[in-house]
Chains A and B, each alone.
Chain A
Amino acid sequence: MNAAGLRHERRLLLRRLALSAPAMATLAVFLLVPLGIMLLVSFLQPGDYGGVKWGEYSLEAYVNFLYERDLDDSLVFNTDYLQIFQRSFWLSVLTTAGCLLVGFPTALYLALQSERRRNLLLLLVTVPFWTNLLVRVYAWILLLRNGGLVDSGLEALGLVHGGDLNVLYTDVAVVIGLLYTFLPFMVLPIYTSLEKLDWRLVEAAYDLGATRRQALRRIIVPLAMPGIAAGTILVFIPSLGNYIIPELLGGGKALMIGNLIQLQFGTAHNWPLGAALSFALLAFVLLAMLVYSLRFKGAAAGGHP
């Protein structure tokens, strides 16, 4: 290429960079810089009435996570926060497992429908994603509360007699809410994998005498693996940091990481601890994404609606 051509190329590239610049600058200033400030705050001293003492550095927030400072200033091992992390972790694992159990068959069902029907059903899967989460969680309060529809429905069926259901404001309610919110996130990526699947491979398996179960286990599930992995991440990570569902369905008793973080900015007035907890959550998410992209490099992550 001659010099003039090169100059032209350069000009085109600069023009393209200039076009992307406003969005990049917005995200850099209002997202990347705040994340950096969050990291900084996690190393500061908390202010007396919320906020922080800018410029007074300390590792207190990270120490606080595992230890409590006693009256005589000695450190006592304290597992309160670890327990909340553990709870969040298990509730999210349970949610992910439940989503897989219902999500995979649903995705398989979708993939095996005629095209017109499939498009309609897909729309039905995505609609709840775009509707207000708060409102949909509220609907579950109406359903699950004592004397609500589930309670009176079970009673009418004769499955329970007298007494209250007492399921709202428990871990069960939280998991139901999480399942309800994140099921579409499992169905869509698995469906994307199954849609691309070459069904002739399954036919070949049948021809070779495989049963349905064998075809499912040896052909379909392995080929749907990128979708299953993507779905697992898309369910597990947002449920881990969810705030609304444990707050409303757990009634503030069944705390998860999200609520613990919010508390630090509300009544607990401990911004550095809140920042450190947020940073831990973010690091975990980024690590999971990294592992996923290394493991399934080249495979379409797909499916994010």
Chain B
Amino acid sequence: MNPRNPLWRFTGVRPLAWLFFAFLYVPIVVLVALSFNGGQSATLWESFSLKWYAVVANDPEIVRAAKNSLLVATFATLIATALATLAALGMRGPAHRGRTLMSGVLSLPLLVPEIVTAVATLMFFAFIGLKLSLFTILIAHVVFCIPFAYLPIRARLEGMDPRLAEAAADLYASPWRTFWRVTLPLLAPGMLSGAMLAFIISMDDFVITYFVAGAGATTLPVYIFSSIRMGISPKINAISSIILLISILFVALSYYIGQRKR
């Protein structure tokens, strides 16, 4: 099929597609542009300035929330990626009874509506009498990070040539040695890309965190939500732009790693 052939042009398709991309990106561009506004208003442009970024960097409450977010995301990513890697290795090989069920359970956090997970987790902690804190946030984050870490790792394993491991065995490598020297290095890009996705998802989560965060355990999205409810401000523009840019950077990096060595 040659895309240049006029037979493949359908009326109205191109303008709608561009409308879609504009709709998707205009709000983001506007938000980032307004974050460089020097005035007191969140929407009226006055002059270019980095002043609100300085305000954000010097706000102890924001800095504490950012630290909490980073702490939770780092640990949630490490734990979820480790669990997901083991699970992906275990799911490899011939099908057995229960494997469909197991992969169903692994994708369950993607299926259950966020608000339901949030509510159920909150009641669970109340039931076992665990006080809400950063620790309860961490547990909840590990749960929903697992499928995001698992999917790229599993995809990577599936695309792996089994003959490589067989060749290693032929050359008298022990199973452990084969794992460390052949399987793991080949798996590493998948693990890295899974870990990055888990990290972004954890950094961005609001609904579940909002429910299981105890008093004082504020993460960045929870902080932003409560500020928005008090009204828009140039300070929110700046902190929002920082978060957006970090996410976009991570996705681009994860995409780049995924494209390499395919």
Contact = CB atoms under 8 A, between A and B. Distances in A.
The answer to whether A binds B is yes
A196 interface: no
A140 B43 CA distance: 11
B91 interface: yes
A263 to B, nearest CB: 11
A135 B243 CA distance: 8
A23 B115 CA distance: 22
B150 A23 contact: yes
A38 interface: yes
Given A23-B87, A24-B87, A141-B228, A258 B16 contact: no
Contacts of B252: 123, 127
A138 interface: yes
B26 to A, nearest CB: 8
Main secondary structure of the interface of B (DSSP, over half): helix
A84 interface: no
A128 B90 CA distance: 32
Contacts of A16: 89-93, 96
A110 interface: yes
Contacts of A37: 120, 123-124, 127
A26 B79 CA distance: 11
Contacts of A138: 31, 224, 228, 232, 236, 240
A5 interface: no
A34 B113 contact: no
Interface stretch (B137-145, B162-170, B184-192): B137-145
Interface stretch (A64-72, A75-83, A156-164, A275-283): A275-283
A183 B115 CA distance: 20
Nearest to A261: B115
* Number of chain B interface residues as a range: 35 or more
Contacts of A103: 20
B86 A20 contact: yes
B66 interface: no
B96 A13 contact: yes
Contacts of B44: 147
Given A23-B83, A24-B105, A187-B20, A130 B251 contact: yes
Interface residues of A, number: 95
Contacts of A123: 251-252, 255
Interface string A11-25: 011011111111110
Nearest to A180: B23
A22 B84 CA distance: 9
A163 to B, nearest CB: 18
A149 B120 contact: no
A268 interface: no
B178 interface: no
Contacts of B110: 304
Nearest to B7: A206
A134 interface: yes
A20 B87 contact: yes
B123 A109 contact: no
Contacts of B75: none
B204 A131 contact: yes
A30 B106 CA distance: 12
B24 to A, nearest CB: 6
Interface string B159-202: 00000000000000000000000000000000000000100110
B102 interface: yes
A265 B123 CA distance: 10
A105 B13 contact: yes
A145 B122 CA distance: 34
A265 B10 CA distance: 50
The listed residue with most B CB atoms (<10 A of its CB), out of A127, A216, A241, A285, is: A127
Interface in A1-56: 12-13, 15-24, 26-28, 30-35, 37-38, 41, 51-52, 54
Contacts of A145: 43, 232
Nearest to B211: A265
B30 interface: yes
A230 interface: no
B140 A30 contact: yes
Contact of A139 (B1, B21, B28, B127): B28
B143 A30 contact: yes
B224 A38 contact: no
9 contacts: A16-B89, A16-B93, A26-B143, A32-B105, A109-B17, A147-B43, A180-B23, A257-B115, A289-B111
Interface of B: 1, 3, 7-14, 16-17, 19-21, 23-28, 30-31, 34, 42-44, 83-84, 86-87, 89-93, 96, 102, 105-106, 108-117, 119-124, 126-127, 139-140, 142-143, 146, 150, 197, 200-201, 203-204, 206-207, 211, 221, 224-225, 228, 232, 236-237, 240, 243-244, 247-248, 250-252, 255
The 4 A-B residue pairs with the shortest CB-CB distance, nearest first, are A19-B90, A20-B90, A34-B124, A241-B113
